[in-house]
Amino acid sequence: MNFEEKIIAYPPVHPGTDRTFIRFYSGEPDLKSIFYPEGSENLPQRIFVTDTTVGSLPALSGFIDNFRGENYSRAKIENGFVGTNGKDVLAILGAGEPFKTIESVLQIVKAALDNNAQRSAVFVGIGGGVITDMTAFAASIFKRGAHCELVPTTLLSMVDAAVGGKTGCDFDAYKNMIGSFFPAQKIHICPSFIQTLPDFEYRSGMAEVVKTALLYSKELFEKLESYPEILTDKKNPLVEEAIKISVGSKARVVEQDLTEKNIRMQLNLGHTFGHALETCAGLGVITHGDAVAWGMGRAAELSKKIGLCTSEYTERVKNMLSSFGWCVEPVHPVLKNKVQNPSEIASMIFNAMMKDKKNSSSKVRFVLQSQICETVITEVQKEDVLDVLR
């Protein structure tokens, strides 16, 4: 498959993690030609990891059939299985956040160990952010660090999760609390994977695209602003352009600050409000993207409240978010039947923010903007935060 390539480099967190080759492919995804190119010899052993939903996509069927073997001919993808193709291994895990567990990570490690993988093996995660985060984590701990390549298949994992080296899994009710920094050596982006994504997953990823545009690309923001139909028009060339711009922007940030000591924190625009909403609504009740989109509206209001930006900026951001169908009200409808009184809801959201370890006793740190592409990280007093939540 033909591809465009972009290389990003950083101080290594582990031998071999000093650069990432990001490849953009056009046309239908063809994993066989990516991982078994004609004429290639001496390929390293690969431990491919995917989930039952991605494994069932027509785009993967030929690839996966190579791993079924005689013993696996009756294995059903929906039950998950481990298969082999020569020395290469394929592990199919359960799909979605409930499977983002240390047990799933250990299943990947076990599949590698049972097939005599060495540290030279390449762990390849093919899926959404759950699979790419866990596969990269397994690679980072396997024999103290193997190799990692990723094939993100959701919009969110293309523009966000696969780029930047954050790996991990959940533990009990704690999200992403176990993990490491371990950038992939290669990221293979086939935008056409998103054609099979359910609409709500696509829309969730689009919130991160809008966030990246607000942070780093006025041009992309303007294009999205004038074409909200992108939400129902996955085939529009703007989608591929938006993916490339978003990936490029995140890549530039993580190149400068892989381990989130300074500018990488900007990527949390909308996330302080969004995470608190997700927590208060109950995990899984609202998508991450819808929560972050609401959070970006609240951040724009908070920027105005503390005198950082003009009303025009706030209105422009909110108009854009609402044209995409995202809530821009102080109280998100998912909370309305939890507690009736807006002040109680505001306190509930604030308390959820305070539980974040990064916040001091009476102030919360926010990523805010004075205008599009002008970002400020600042602590804000409780009363000002409450005012934009009720």
**Residue nearer to ligand NAD on the CB measure, 127 or 274:** 127
CB of 166 to ligand NAD, least distance (A): 4
* Contact residues: ligand NAD, CB under 6 A: 51, 53-54, 57, 95-97, 100, 127-131, 133, 153-154, 156-157, 160-161, 164, 166, 176, 193, 196-197, 201, 204
Q: Residue 100 is which amino acid?
A: K
What whole-number distance in Å separates Cα of residue 255 and Cα of residue 233? Answer: 32
What whole-number distance in Å separates Cα of residue 160 and Cα of residue 208? Answer: 7
**Residue nearer to ligand NAD on the CB measure, 170 or 225:** 170
Q: Which stretches within 98-198 are classed as H helix?
A: 102-114, 129-141, 155-156
**Residue nearer to ligand NAD on the CB measure, 140 or 153:** 153
CB of 306 to ligand NAD, least distance (A): 27
- End-to-end, the C-alpha distance of the chain in Å comes to 52
- HSE toward the beta carbon, residue 177, CA cutoff 13 A: 8
CB of 251 to ligand NAD, least distance (A): 12
What whole-number distance in Å separates Cα of residue 278 and Cα of residue 291? Answer: 6
**Residue nearer to ligand NAD on the CB measure, 51 or 290:** 51
**Residue nearer to ligand NAD on the CB measure, 163 or 364:** 163
CB of 170 to ligand NAD, least distance (A): 7
CB of 133 to ligand NAD, least distance (A): 5
What whole-number distance in Å separates Cα of residue 377 and Cα of residue 308? Answer: 11
CB of 111 to ligand NAD, least distance (A): 18
**Residue nearer to ligand NAD on the CB measure, 182 or 313:** 182
What whole-number distance in Å separates Cα of residue 280 and Cα of residue 277? Answer: 5
**Residue nearer to ligand NAD on the CB measure, 54 or 89:** 54
What whole-number distance in Å separates Cα of residue 381 and Cα of residue 375? Answer: 18
For residue 30, the cross-strand partners are none
The number of residues making up the chain comes to 390
The CB-nearest residue to ligand NAD is 129
**Residue nearer to ligand NAD on the CB measure, 46 or 100:** 100
Q: Which stretches within 123-270 are classed as H helix?
A: 129-141, 155-156, 199-216, 218-225, 237-256
What whole-number distance in Å separates Cα of residue 192 and Cα of residue 174? Answer: 33
CB of 322 to ligand NAD, least distance (A): 23
State the angle between helix axes of 102-114 and 129-141 in degrees (0 to 180), rounded to the nearest 10: 60
CB of 308 to ligand NAD, least distance (A): 26
What whole-number distance in Å separates Cα of residue 82 and Cα of residue 357? Answer: 39
